[in-house]
């Protein structure tokens, strides 16, 4: 039986497409695969983290992963937070280097930059770290495990969820040069903060209008500073500088990877008590 003419045209068109695609596939198999920007990004992600990439953006990086348990909390409830650092094969890590006089630093802060705390958990023989916690306000908190293994520093992070009340997120506070706590006044001085360039952050501490010139070492230095980027809370490693400046000054060197707003958390010790002050800075391109 003769095929109706419209269907003949369709059959001929399909046959022609098959010939064209077959020829294209043959040519493609003879050519080298093109290296695209996306391919390069995948290769970078499979390898080690780039030095320009901030830390603390995920639960896994550079062959290590962090596992928190539990991740759900009730507001006001006292519980124990446990976590392990694991290798790519899933084995718990039990050997850590000493970093700032501790083998593990746990930074916990709510995702809007409030409720900062710096904890030092204890590890058992199986490699599980634990520390008691209690959250006074609901919200989503970011927990950063900051450690060194095999001579390299790493920061891994995950979210903790606290229910039991309303949570109103807010942006980082406006930049300010002075913050105070428990009778101490701390003033921040910086030059122009430009992304990708070394920046000096200088903090001067006073009490009752007089410089505090007998600051005590905290974690092996005159002070400890954590910097978090607004939005994704990328964790910046900043380093104290050994300078011959005034005794009441604490100076750090930092390189901010991108433009934007960053929250700074400075901790220092005086009269045996650790104090914390907070600042917001704006980094230009």
**Which CATH number does the domain housing residue 230 bear?**
2.60.40.3340
pLDDT of residue 99: 94
* CATH number, residue 104: 2.60.40.1930
Are 146 and 99 in contact, with CB atoms under 8 Å apart?
Answer: yes
What is the C-alpha to C-alpha distance for residues 110 and 93, in angstroms, rounded to an integer? 27
Q: Tell whether 30 is covered by a domain.
A: no
Q: Tell whether 213 is covered by a domain.
A: yes
Q: What are phi and psi of 222, to 5 degrees?
A: -70, -15
Same domain for 75 and 129, yes or no, is yes
pLDDT of residue 166: 84
Q: Tell whether 208 is covered by a domain.
A: yes
Sign of CA dihedral 85, 90, 95, 98: negative
What is the C-alpha to C-alpha distance for residues 104 and 111, in angstroms, rounded to an integer? 21
Same domain for 64 and 155, yes or no, is yes
Same domain for 117 and 193, yes or no, is no
pTM exceeds cut of 0.85: no
DSSP 37: H
- The total domain count for the chain is 2
pLDDT of residue 243: 67
What is the C-alpha to C-alpha distance for residues 171 and 209, in angstroms, rounded to an integer? 31
Q: Which of 111, 137, 163 is the last residue of a domain?
A: 163
Q: Which of 163, 186, 205 is the last residue of a domain?
A: 163
What is the C-alpha to C-alpha distance for residues 126 and 148, in angstroms, rounded to an integer? 18
Same domain for 159 and 201, yes or no, is no
Are 119 and 108 in contact, with CB atoms under 8 Å apart?
Answer: yes
Q: Tell whether 276 is covered by a domain.
A: yes
pLDDT in tens, the chain (285 residues): 444 443 333 333 334 334 333 433 333 333 333 333 333 323 332 333 334 578 999 999 999 999 999 999 999 999 999 999 999 999 999 999 999 999 999 999 999 999 999 999 999 999 999 999 999 999 999 999 999 999 999 999 999 999 998 888 889 999 999 999 999 999 999 999 999 999 999 999 999 999 999 999 999 999 999 999 999 999 998 988 876 668 899 999 999 999 999 999 999 999 999 999 999 999 999
Q: Tell whether 23 is covered by a domain.
A: no
pLDDT of residue 169: 80
Are 240 and 218 in contact, with CB atoms under 8 Å apart?
Answer: no
Provide the domain limits for residue 78: 51-163
Q: Tell whether 80 is covered by a domain.
A: yes
Same domain for 202 and 159, yes or no, is no
Q: Which of 134, 163, 192 is the last residue of a domain?
A: 163
């Amino acid at each position: 039986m003769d095929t109706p003419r419209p269907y003949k045209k369709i059959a001929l068109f399909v046959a022609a497409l098959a010939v064209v695609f077959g020829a294209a596939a043959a040519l493609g198999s003879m050519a080298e695969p093109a290296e695209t920007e996306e391919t390069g990004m995948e290769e970078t992600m499979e390898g080690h983290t780039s030095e320009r990439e901030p830390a603390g953006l995920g639960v896994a990086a550079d062959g290590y992963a962090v596992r928190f348990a539990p991740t759900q909390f009730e507001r006001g409830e006292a519980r124990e937070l446990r976590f392990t650092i694991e290798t790519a094969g899933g084995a718990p890590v039990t050997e850590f280097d000493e970093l700032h006089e501790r083998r593990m630093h746990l930074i916990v802060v709510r995702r809007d930059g409030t409720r900062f705390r710096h904890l030092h958990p204890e590890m058992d023989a199986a490699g599980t770290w634990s520390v008691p916690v209690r959250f006074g306000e609901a919200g989503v908190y970011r927990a950063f495990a900051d450690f060194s293994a095999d001579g390299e520093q790493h920061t891994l992070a995950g979210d903790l969820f606290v229910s039991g009340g309303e949570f109103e997120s807010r942006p980082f506070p406006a930049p300010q040069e002075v913050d105070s706590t428990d009778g101490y006044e701390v003033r921040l001085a910086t030059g122009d903060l430009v992304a990708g360039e070394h920046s000096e952050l200088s903090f001067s501490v006073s009490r009752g209008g007089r410089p505090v010139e007998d600051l005590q070492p905290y974690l092996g230095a005159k002070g400890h500073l954590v910097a978090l980027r607004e939005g994704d809370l990328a964790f910046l490693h900043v380093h104290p500088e050994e300078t011959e400046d005034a005794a009441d000054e604490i100076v750090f060197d930092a390189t901010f990877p991108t433009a934007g707003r960053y929250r700074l958390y400075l901790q220092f010790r005086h009269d045996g008590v650790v104090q914390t002050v907070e600042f917001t800075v704006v980094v230009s391109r």
